[in-house]
Protein backbone atom coordinates (compact mmCIF):
# COMPACT_ATOMS: atom_id res chain seq x y z
CA UNK A 1 0.00 0.00 0.00
CA UNK A 2 1.24 3.49 -0.76
CA UNK A 3 2.50 5.81 1.94
CA UNK A 4 -0.43 7.21 3.94
CA UNK A 5 1.42 10.22 5.37
CA UNK A 6 1.10 12.45 2.31
CA UNK A 7 4.85 12.55 1.67
CA UNK A 8 6.14 13.13 -1.85
CA UNK A 9 6.64 9.88 -3.81
CA UNK A 10 10.14 8.42 -3.76
CA UNK A 11 9.64 5.98 -6.63
CA UNK A 12 8.50 6.64 -10.20
CA UNK A 13 6.95 4.07 -12.56
CA UNK A 14 7.49 4.45 -16.31
CA UNK A 15 6.84 2.56 -19.54
CA UNK A 16 9.76 3.70 -21.74
CA UNK A 17 9.15 1.09 -24.46
CA UNK A 18 6.57 -1.56 -25.37
CA UNK A 19 6.56 -4.39 -22.83
CA UNK A 20 9.24 -2.69 -20.69
CA UNK A 21 8.55 -1.13 -17.27
CA UNK A 22 11.09 1.11 -15.58
CA UNK A 23 11.02 1.61 -11.80
CA UNK A 24 13.02 4.68 -10.82
CA UNK A 25 14.24 5.53 -7.33
CA UNK A 26 13.54 9.26 -7.20
CA UNK A 27 15.31 10.53 -4.12
CA UNK A 28 18.52 11.97 -5.58
CA UNK A 29 18.92 14.57 -2.82
CA UNK A 30 19.49 11.65 -0.39
CA UNK A 31 21.46 9.57 -2.94
CA UNK A 32 18.42 7.26 -3.07
CA UNK A 33 18.88 6.05 0.49
CA UNK A 34 16.24 3.45 1.29
CA UNK A 35 13.84 3.94 4.18
CA UNK A 36 10.42 2.52 4.88
CA UNK A 37 8.66 4.70 2.33
CA UNK A 38 10.97 3.80 -0.53
CA UNK A 39 10.85 0.11 0.39
CA UNK A 40 7.08 -0.09 0.18
CA UNK A 41 6.89 2.09 -2.93
CA UNK A 42 9.44 -0.16 -4.63
CA UNK A 43 7.43 -3.19 -3.64
CA UNK A 44 4.22 -1.69 -5.00
CA UNK A 45 5.98 -0.87 -8.26
CA UNK A 46 7.41 -4.39 -8.63
CA UNK A 47 3.95 -5.83 -7.91
CA UNK A 48 2.42 -3.53 -10.52
CA UNK A 49 4.89 -4.76 -13.13
CA UNK A 50 4.37 -8.38 -12.13
CA UNK A 51 0.60 -8.12 -12.44
CA UNK A 52 0.63 -6.30 -15.80
CA UNK A 53 0.51 -8.94 -18.54
CA UNK A 54 1.82 -6.38 -21.04
CA UNK A 55 5.11 -6.03 -19.13
CA UNK A 56 7.77 -8.59 -19.99
CA UNK A 57 10.94 -6.94 -18.62
CA UNK A 58 11.53 -4.59 -15.67
CA UNK A 59 14.36 -2.06 -15.29
CA UNK A 60 15.36 -0.74 -11.85
CA UNK A 61 17.00 2.68 -12.22
CA UNK A 62 17.77 5.71 -10.08
CA UNK A 63 17.74 9.48 -10.46
CA UNK A 64 20.80 11.57 -9.73
CA UNK A 65 24.51 10.98 -9.41
CA UNK A 66 24.33 7.73 -7.41
CA UNK A 67 22.30 4.55 -7.65
CA UNK A 68 21.86 4.14 -3.90
CA UNK A 69 23.66 5.01 -0.67
CA UNK A 70 21.96 2.04 1.02
CA UNK A 71 19.74 2.05 4.09
CA UNK A 72 18.75 5.49 5.33
CA UNK A 73 20.63 5.65 8.64
CA UNK A 74 19.09 9.03 9.46
CA UNK A 75 15.82 7.24 10.24
CA UNK A 76 12.29 7.32 8.84
CA UNK A 77 11.24 10.70 10.23
CA UNK A 78 7.78 10.46 11.73
CA UNK A 79 6.91 7.31 9.80
CA UNK A 80 6.54 3.91 11.41
CA UNK A 81 5.56 0.51 10.09
CA UNK A 82 1.94 1.45 10.81
CA UNK A 83 2.00 3.89 7.88
CA UNK A 84 2.39 0.99 5.45
CA UNK A 85 0.66 -2.30 4.76
CA UNK A 86 3.12 -5.08 5.49
CA UNK A 87 3.44 -7.78 2.84
CA UNK A 88 5.14 -10.62 4.73
CA UNK A 89 4.19 -12.80 7.66
CA UNK A 90 6.57 -11.32 10.24
CA UNK A 91 5.26 -8.92 12.85
CA UNK A 92 6.09 -7.95 16.43
CA UNK A 93 7.76 -4.74 15.25
CA UNK A 94 7.14 -3.07 18.61
CA UNK A 95 8.15 -6.04 20.74
CA UNK A 96 10.85 -5.89 23.39
CA UNK A 97 14.39 -7.16 23.03
CA UNK A 98 15.70 -8.48 19.73
CA UNK A 99 12.27 -9.55 18.47
CA UNK A 100 11.29 -6.15 17.04
CA UNK A 101 14.45 -5.61 15.00
CA UNK A 102 14.53 -9.19 13.74
CA UNK A 103 10.92 -8.98 12.56
CA UNK A 104 11.36 -5.53 11.05
CA UNK A 105 14.48 -6.46 9.08
CA UNK A 106 12.91 -9.73 7.99
CA UNK A 107 9.96 -7.78 6.59
CA UNK A 108 11.57 -4.72 4.99
CA UNK A 109 14.97 -6.09 3.96
CA UNK A 110 15.48 -9.84 3.66
CA UNK A 111 12.00 -11.05 2.71
CA UNK A 112 11.33 -8.00 0.56
CA UNK A 113 14.49 -8.75 -1.39
CA UNK A 114 13.44 -12.37 -1.74
CA UNK A 115 10.08 -11.24 -3.18
CA UNK A 116 11.78 -9.01 -5.73
CA UNK A 117 14.35 -11.66 -6.69
CA UNK A 118 11.48 -14.09 -7.30
CA UNK A 119 9.57 -11.69 -9.57
CA UNK A 120 8.49 -13.86 -12.49
CA UNK A 121 9.81 -11.46 -15.14
CA UNK A 122 13.43 -10.60 -16.03
CA UNK A 123 14.78 -7.57 -14.19
CA UNK A 124 17.74 -5.34 -15.03
CA UNK A 125 19.51 -2.99 -12.61
CA UNK A 126 20.77 0.22 -14.26
CA UNK A 127 23.57 1.32 -11.92
CA UNK A 128 25.50 4.59 -11.92
CA UNK A 129 27.78 6.18 -9.33
CA UNK A 130 27.85 4.73 -5.84
CA UNK A 131 26.10 1.50 -4.93
CA UNK A 132 26.70 1.04 -1.22
CA UNK A 133 25.56 -1.56 1.38
CA UNK A 134 21.76 -1.74 1.09
CA UNK A 135 22.12 -0.45 -2.46
CA UNK A 136 23.86 -3.72 -3.29
CA UNK A 137 20.74 -5.58 -2.24
CA UNK A 138 18.64 -3.54 -4.65
CA UNK A 139 21.00 -4.34 -7.53
CA UNK A 140 21.57 -7.97 -6.56
CA UNK A 141 17.90 -8.92 -6.62
CA UNK A 142 17.91 -8.10 -10.33
CA UNK A 143 18.77 -10.73 -12.93
CA UNK A 144 21.18 -8.53 -14.87
CA UNK A 145 23.27 -5.49 -13.90
CA UNK A 146 24.38 -2.86 -16.40
CA UNK A 147 26.80 -0.37 -14.84
CA UNK A 148 28.27 2.91 -15.97
CA UNK A 149 32.05 3.27 -16.11
CA UNK A 150 31.95 5.49 -13.02
CA UNK A 151 29.94 3.00 -10.95
CA UNK A 152 31.46 1.47 -7.82
CA UNK A 153 30.25 -1.06 -5.26
CA UNK A 154 30.92 -1.28 -1.53
CA UNK A 155 29.65 -3.04 1.59
CA UNK A 156 31.24 -1.20 4.55
CA UNK A 157 29.00 -2.55 7.31
CA UNK A 158 31.85 -4.50 8.93
CA UNK A 159 33.00 -1.03 10.04
CA UNK A 160 29.67 -0.76 11.88
CA UNK A 161 30.26 -4.09 13.65
CA UNK A 162 27.96 -6.11 11.34
CA UNK A 163 28.83 -9.04 9.06
CA UNK A 164 27.42 -7.71 5.79
CA UNK A 165 24.02 -6.55 4.58
CA UNK A 166 20.85 -8.54 5.28
CA UNK A 167 20.51 -10.00 1.78
CA UNK A 168 23.85 -11.80 2.06
CA UNK A 169 24.54 -12.69 -1.57
CA UNK A 170 28.24 -11.79 -1.68
CA UNK A 171 29.66 -15.30 -2.37
CA UNK A 172 27.27 -15.83 -5.29
CA UNK A 173 28.00 -12.41 -6.76
CA UNK A 174 31.79 -12.31 -6.38
CA UNK A 175 33.04 -15.81 -5.61
CA UNK A 176 34.27 -16.97 -2.22
CA UNK A 177 37.72 -15.37 -2.01
CA UNK A 178 36.74 -12.06 -3.56
CA UNK A 179 33.67 -11.93 -1.31
CA UNK A 180 35.89 -12.33 1.76
CA UNK A 181 38.24 -9.57 0.61
CA UNK A 182 35.28 -7.31 -0.25
CA UNK A 183 33.81 -7.78 3.23
CA UNK A 184 37.02 -7.88 5.32
CA UNK A 185 38.45 -4.69 3.83
CA UNK A 186 35.19 -2.81 3.15
CA UNK A 187 36.97 -1.46 0.07
CA UNK A 188 34.94 -0.43 -2.95
CA UNK A 189 35.34 -2.17 -6.27
CA UNK A 190 34.96 -0.59 -9.68
CA UNK A 191 32.38 -1.53 -12.27
CA UNK A 192 35.17 -3.13 -14.34
CA UNK A 193 36.33 -5.28 -11.42
CA UNK A 194 32.75 -6.26 -10.63
CA UNK A 195 32.32 -7.30 -14.25
CA UNK A 196 35.50 -9.41 -14.11
CA UNK A 197 33.98 -11.26 -11.11
CA UNK A 198 30.71 -11.87 -12.95
CA UNK A 199 28.64 -9.53 -10.80
CA UNK A 200 28.07 -6.99 -13.57
CA UNK A 201 27.03 -7.97 -17.09
CA UNK A 202 28.18 -4.89 -19.00
CA UNK A 203 30.07 -1.67 -18.31
CA UNK A 204 29.21 1.30 -20.51
CA UNK A 205 29.90 5.05 -20.63
CA UNK A 206 27.67 7.02 -18.27
CA UNK A 207 26.08 8.91 -21.16
CA UNK A 208 25.03 5.61 -22.77
CA UNK A 209 23.80 3.81 -19.65
CA UNK A 210 20.09 4.45 -20.05
CA UNK A 211 20.05 3.75 -23.79
CA UNK A 212 22.09 0.53 -23.52
CA UNK A 213 19.94 -0.76 -20.65
CA UNK A 214 16.72 0.01 -22.50
CA UNK A 215 18.00 -1.60 -25.71
CA UNK A 216 18.85 -4.78 -23.78
CA UNK A 217 15.41 -4.77 -22.15
CA UNK A 218 13.72 -4.35 -25.54
CA UNK A 219 15.76 -7.22 -26.99
CA UNK A 220 14.75 -9.53 -24.14
CA UNK A 221 11.13 -8.36 -24.35
CA UNK A 222 10.89 -9.84 -27.86
CA UNK A 223 11.23 -13.35 -26.44
CA UNK A 224 8.20 -15.48 -25.44
CA UNK A 225 6.94 -14.33 -22.04
CA UNK A 226 6.41 -17.76 -20.50
CA UNK A 227 9.81 -18.99 -21.70
CA UNK A 228 11.43 -15.97 -20.04
CA UNK A 229 9.64 -16.69 -16.77
CA UNK A 230 10.56 -20.38 -16.83
CA UNK A 231 14.20 -19.69 -17.70
CA UNK A 232 14.55 -17.22 -14.84
CA UNK A 233 13.00 -19.71 -12.43
CA UNK A 234 15.32 -22.46 -13.64
CA UNK A 235 18.49 -20.43 -13.12
CA UNK A 236 17.36 -19.08 -9.74
CA UNK A 237 16.61 -22.64 -8.67
CA UNK A 238 20.21 -23.64 -9.41
CA UNK A 239 21.43 -21.09 -6.87
CA UNK A 240 18.90 -22.25 -4.33
CA UNK A 241 19.70 -25.96 -4.56
CA UNK A 242 23.35 -24.98 -4.10
CA UNK A 243 22.32 -23.72 -0.67
CA UNK A 244 21.97 -19.97 -1.25
CA UNK A 245 18.81 -19.58 0.85
CA UNK A 246 20.04 -21.71 3.77
CA UNK A 247 23.38 -19.90 3.83
CA UNK A 248 21.64 -16.54 3.66
CA UNK A 249 19.44 -17.37 6.65
CA UNK A 250 22.53 -18.35 8.65
CA UNK A 251 24.18 -15.03 7.76
CA UNK A 252 20.98 -13.19 8.71
CA UNK A 253 21.06 -14.83 12.14
CA UNK A 254 24.70 -13.76 12.61
CA UNK A 255 23.74 -10.26 11.45
CA UNK A 256 21.25 -10.07 14.31
CA UNK A 257 23.62 -11.61 16.82
CA UNK A 258 25.94 -8.70 16.05
CA UNK A 259 23.10 -6.19 16.36
CA UNK A 260 22.41 -7.59 19.84
CA UNK A 261 26.12 -7.51 20.70
CA UNK A 262 26.39 -3.86 19.69
CA UNK A 263 23.32 -3.00 21.76
CA UNK A 264 25.08 -4.45 24.80
CA UNK A 265 28.37 -2.69 24.10
CA UNK A 266 27.31 0.64 22.60
CA UNK A 267 23.61 0.96 23.44
CA UNK A 268 22.70 0.88 19.74
CA UNK A 269 22.45 -1.69 16.97
CA UNK A 270 25.78 -0.83 15.36
CA UNK A 271 29.24 0.27 16.33
CA UNK A 272 29.04 4.08 16.01
CA UNK A 273 32.80 4.36 15.53
CA UNK A 274 32.49 3.16 11.96
CA UNK A 275 29.78 5.60 10.89
CA UNK A 276 30.58 8.73 8.87
CA UNK A 277 30.83 11.69 11.24
CA UNK A 278 27.68 13.48 10.05
CA UNK A 279 25.62 10.31 10.23
CA UNK A 280 27.18 9.26 13.55
CA UNK A 281 26.14 12.50 15.24
CA UNK A 282 22.55 12.14 14.02
CA UNK A 283 22.33 8.49 15.03
CA UNK A 284 23.82 9.09 18.49
CA UNK A 285 21.44 12.02 19.02
CA UNK A 286 18.48 9.82 18.08
CA UNK A 287 19.64 7.09 20.47
CA UNK A 288 20.01 9.67 23.26
CA UNK A 289 16.48 10.97 22.63
CA UNK A 290 15.06 7.46 22.70
CA UNK A 291 16.83 6.70 25.99
CA UNK A 292 15.58 9.95 27.51
CA UNK A 293 12.02 9.25 26.40
CA UNK A 294 12.17 5.75 27.88
CA UNK A 295 13.62 7.06 31.14
CA UNK A 296 10.97 9.76 31.36
Q: What percent of the chain has pLDDT over 90?
A: 78
The mean pLDDT value of the chain amounts to 92
Measuring CA to CA, how many Å separate 57 from each of 19, 78, 115, 199, 242?
A: 7, 35, 16, 20, 26
- Quick check: 183 pLDDT over 60? yes
CA dist 3 and 36 (Å) reads 9
Residue 75: predicted pLDDT: 65
Q: What are phi and psi of 249, to 5 degrees?
A: -70, -35
Assess contact for 273 and 283: CB atoms under 8 A. no
Of the listed ranges 93-97, 166-170, 214-218, 249-253, the least confidently predicted one is 93-97
The pLDDT value recorded for residue 3 is 45
The answer, yes or no, to whether residue 5 has pLDDT greater than 90, is no
CB under 8 Å to 52, separation ≥6 — which residues?
A: 21
For residue 296, pLDDT beyond 90:
no
pLDDT at 2: 43
pLDDT the model gives residue 289: 76
Q: Which pLDDT value is given to residue 83?
A: 82
In the predicted structure, residue 1 carries a pLDDT above the cut 70:
no
pLDDT digits (tens, 9 = 90+) for 225-261: 999 999 999 999 999 999 999 999 999 999 999 999 9
Give me the pLDDT at residue 295, please.
73
Domain boundaries 11-295, corresponding CATH code: 3.90.226.10
Tell me the C-alpha distance between 241 and 239, whole Å: 6
> Taking the mean position of all CA atoms in its chain, how far away is CA 88?
17
Reported confidence tier of residue 91, pLDDT bands at 50, 70, 90: confident
Predicted local distance difference test score (pLDDT) of residue 177: 97
| Weakest-pLDDT range from 63-72, 80-89, 96-105, 232-241 | 80-89
Domain boundaries, the chain: 11-295
pLDDT at 278 > cutoff 60: yes
How far is 162 from 149, CA to CA, in rounded Å?
A: 29
- Per-residue confidence (pLDDT) for residue 77, from 0 to 100: 63
For the sheet with 57-62, list strands across it: 11-17, 20-25, 57-62, 123-127, 144-148, 202-204
Residue 22: beta bridge partners?
14, 59
State pLDDT tens for residues 35-55: 999 999 999 999 999 999 999
pLDDT at 291: 72
Amino acid sequence: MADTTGAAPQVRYEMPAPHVARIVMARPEAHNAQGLQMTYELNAAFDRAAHDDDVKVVILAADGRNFSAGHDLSGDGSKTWRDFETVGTWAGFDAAGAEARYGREMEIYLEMCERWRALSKPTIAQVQGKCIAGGLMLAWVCDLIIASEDASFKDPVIDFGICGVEFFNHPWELGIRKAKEFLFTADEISAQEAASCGMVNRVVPRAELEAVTLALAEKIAKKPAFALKATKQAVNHVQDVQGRRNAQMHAFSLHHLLHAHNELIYGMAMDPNGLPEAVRDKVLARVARAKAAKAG
